[in-house]
Chain A
Amino acid sequence: MIKRYAALIRNAWLVDLQYRASIVLWLLWGVTEPAIALGIWWAIAGDGSVAGYARDDFARYFFAVMLINQLTIAWDSWYLDRWIREGDLNYRLARPLHPAHEAVAENIAYKARTASVILVVWLLVAAAWPAVRLPFDPGRWAITAVAVLLAAAMRFFISFTTGLLAFWTTRATAIMELHAGVSLFLAGRIAPLALLPPAVASVAGVLWFRSMLAFPVDLLTGAVHGPGAVLRGLGGQIAWLGVWIVAYRIAWTRGIRQYGAVGG
């Protein structure tokens, strides 16, 4: 299995290499939203602070969002929608390997490439601009790495499962866009959850949205205090990951059963 994965990742890496200019553009698109949000909060904070966030805190927060969003984002619903509608799923089903493995390998190759670019840019910016420097704390980074892994896995299953809805509807990607619109607020893309009205923030915590992005970001910037809060956050991530895996299994088995292949 490891050998298969190595081959799949290598393959995806080489394909991405062909489209590296395109990937740079996607990357640029991915960082504008947090950059604009940072610009606006920067103006609002001025010389004071907003709910405990001063300018420097916003800078660190949104740099962490850029990195962790890139590490956890999953485009799979768009791929699956196309595979199912245009019949590209057919030959993938004929292979002796579940199509999800190919998707996972693609995610790993894509994220390794784009996240390392962001990391390098962050280090360069941090050299010149102390505001975005993080305190040296390997223990916290290690826990963040675990949380990022859980978030990436969950967002993969969310995206993959939503893409599978293409078995039944032509608007699977529209549903994904809807989810993206909600996650703008609830996952902490536009603002730290601490700045949302408390009722909205608690909805984000009860549902899976905080686990997607805001929790790992808060871990990295040090906004999660105490081992209890860390464990609760990780527990929430694991629970929702489990839920989405179950949802994926249901969608996959039901969808495949009623899939009438298109195309030749």
Chain B
Amino acid sequence: MSGMRRVIHVLGAFWRLNVAEELQYRANFVASVLGTLFSMATGLLTLSLFFHHTTNLGGWDYWEIVVLLGVFNALTGVIEAVLRPGIGQLAGEVRSGELDLVLVKPVDAQAFVSFRRLDLWRLSDVVLGLALAGYALTRLGRVPSVAQLAAFALALAAAAVVVYAIWVVLMSLAFWFVSVENIAVLFDAVYEGARYPVSAYPGALRFLFVYLIPIAWTTTIPASALTGRLRPEIALAAALVAGLAFALARALWRAALKRYAGASG
């Protein structure tokens, strides 16, 4: 376990530096919160527009989807604070050869690449997202039981793992297709689909989102667990999916790393 402890130690040092750095740019905090509020507002307005013409979307009513939107925003915070500035930089580093500098470090490369940065301010998205979900719950007039809350917490953690696994898979592809520096765009495109419950989509898309690109597990399932739409046991399935996704991503990462021959001189 000493390898693990070393990773945590090293990452802790990196995060302290990041936080110290970001605390110097406090105006960015205001800008970041305003940006988040704006994107939440556009999300809510879009939803209102849909519900101007309907009373339910895939069997979900307005405030249920707002709960889901809150989950979406919370996960966006994790993505923007940790994943995009960390593992999201990988494709470019594979191309330029900067990855060499990572590989020579005496820590697990995947752990280091994934969690080396923490953009503190974007964590406000997590807070605002969860607050939105909580507000929507009160509008629904539902008080979640302890079991539902626990299921939600587990499903949300599983969702973060699934999102992380998708990033690892995409970035590993960069080892084969060196010229796609903007491969993160592919994630943004697919993740847009997570704004709405999967049941709102036509059959083929729904199958894609549940089984092939598992974004159904990122927002639909945690939101369902919180609103009581699905029974708390669903969180166990979510954990299983997350474990599977993580194992697959790790395997692909290993295979990808074997291909890497270095490029810097």
Interface: A171 (CB within 8 A)? yes
Q: Are B49 and A25 in contact (CB under 8 A)?
A: no
Interface: B264 (CB within 8 A)? no
Residues of chain A with a CB closer than 8 A to B35's CB: 174, 177
61-76 of chain A: CB within 8 A of chain B:
none
Q: Are B31 and A171 in contact (CB under 8 A)?
A: yes
Q: Mark B88-99, 1 if CB is under 8 A from A, else 0.
A: 000000000000
Interface residues of chain A: helix, strand, loop or mixed (majority) = helix
Report the separation of the CA atoms of residues A40 and B54 in the bound assembly, to the nearest whole angstrom.
11
Q: Are B183 and A25 in contact (CB under 8 A)?
A: yes
Report the separation of the CA atoms of residues A30 and B185 in the bound assembly, to the nearest whole angstrom.
10
Residues of chain B with a CB closer than 8 A to A202's CB: none
46-72 of chain B: CB within 8 A of chain A:
46, 49-50, 52-54, 57-58
Q: Mark A180-201, 1 if CB is under 8 A from B, else 0.
A: 0100110000110001110000
Report the separation of the CA atoms of residues A18 and B179 in the bound assembly, to the nearest whole angstrom.
8
Report the separation of the CA atoms of residues A178 and B35 in the bound assembly, to the nearest whole angstrom.
9
Interface: B201 (CB within 8 A)? yes
Interface: A39 (CB within 8 A)? yes
Report the separation of the CA atoms of residues A25 and B177 in the bound assembly, to the nearest whole angstrom.
12
Interface: A57 (CB within 8 A)? no
A126 to chain B, nearest CB (A): 18
Query: In the complex, what residue of chain A is closest to B190 when comparing beta carbons?
Result: A32
189-221 of chain B: CB within 8 A of chain A:
189-190, 192-193, 195-196, 200-202, 205
Residues of chain B with a CB closer than 8 A to A33's CB: 192
Q: Mark A19-49, 1 if CB is under 8 A from B, else 0.
A: 1011001101100110010011111100000
Residues of chain A with a CB closer than 8 A to B181's CB: 22
Query: In the complex, what residue of chain A is closest to B182 when comparing beta carbons?
Result: A22
Interface: B263 (CB within 8 A)? no
Most chain A beta-carbon neighbours within 10 Å: one of B46, B177, B185, B205: B185
Query: Given A21-B177, A43-B201, A181 and B42 touching (CB < 8 A)?
Result: yes
Partner of B49, one of A18, A19, A32, A190: A190
Q: Mark A147-187, 1 if CB is under 8 A from B, else 0.
A: 00000000000000000000000010010011001001100
Q: Are B58 and A43 in contact (CB under 8 A)?
A: yes
127-163 of chain B: CB within 8 A of chain A:
none
Interface: A50 (CB within 8 A)? yes
Interface: A51 (CB within 8 A)? yes
Q: Are B185 and A28 in contact (CB under 8 A)?
A: yes
A61 to chain B, nearest CB (A): 14
Report the separation of the CA atoms of residues A229 and B231 in the bound assembly, to the nearest whole angstrom.
54
Q: Are A39 and B53 in contact (CB under 8 A)?
A: no
Q: Are B189 and A32 in contact (CB under 8 A)?
A: yes
Q: Mark B1-40, 1 if CB is under 8 A from A, else 0.
A: 0000000000000000000000000000001000100110
Report the separation of the CA atoms of residues A195 and B45 in the bound assembly, to the nearest whole angstrom.
13
Report the separation of the CA atoms of residues A181 and B53 in the bound assembly, to the nearest whole angstrom.
21
Residues of chain B with a CB closer than 8 A to A28's CB: 185-186, 189
67-126 of chain B: CB within 8 A of chain A:
none
Residues of chain B with a CB closer than 8 A to A22's CB: 179-182
Partner of A21, one of B57, B180, B193: B180
Residues of chain A with a CB closer than 8 A to B179's CB: 18-19, 21-22
Residues of chain A with a CB closer than 8 A to B42's CB: 181, 184-185
Chain A interface (Cβ within 8 Å of chain B)?
18-19, 21-22, 25-26, 28-29, 32-33, 36, 39-44, 50-51, 171, 174, 177-178, 181, 184-185, 190-191, 195-197
Chain B interface (Cβ within 8 Å of chain A)?
31, 35, 38-39, 42, 45-46, 49-50, 52-54, 57-58, 177, 179-183, 185-186, 188-190, 192-193, 195-196, 200-202, 205
Q: Other than A21-B177, A181-B39, give 15 A-B pairs with Cβ distance below 8 A.
A: A18-B179, A22-B180, A25-B183, A25-B189, A36-B193, A39-B200, A40-B196, A43-B200, A43-B201, A50-B53, A184-B42, A185-B46, A190-B46, A190-B49, A196-B49
Between A and B, 28 residue pairs with Cβ closer than 8 Å are: A18-B179, A22-B181, A25-B183, A25-B185, A29-B185, A33-B192, A36-B196, A39-B201, A39-B202, A39-B205, A40-B50, A40-B201, A41-B50, A43-B200, A43-B201, A43-B202, A44-B50, A50-B53, A178-B38, A181-B39, A181-B42, A184-B42, A185-B46, A185-B49, A190-B49, A195-B52, A196-B49, A197-B52
**Closest A-B pairs by Cβ, 3 of them:** A32-B189, A29-B189, A44-B54
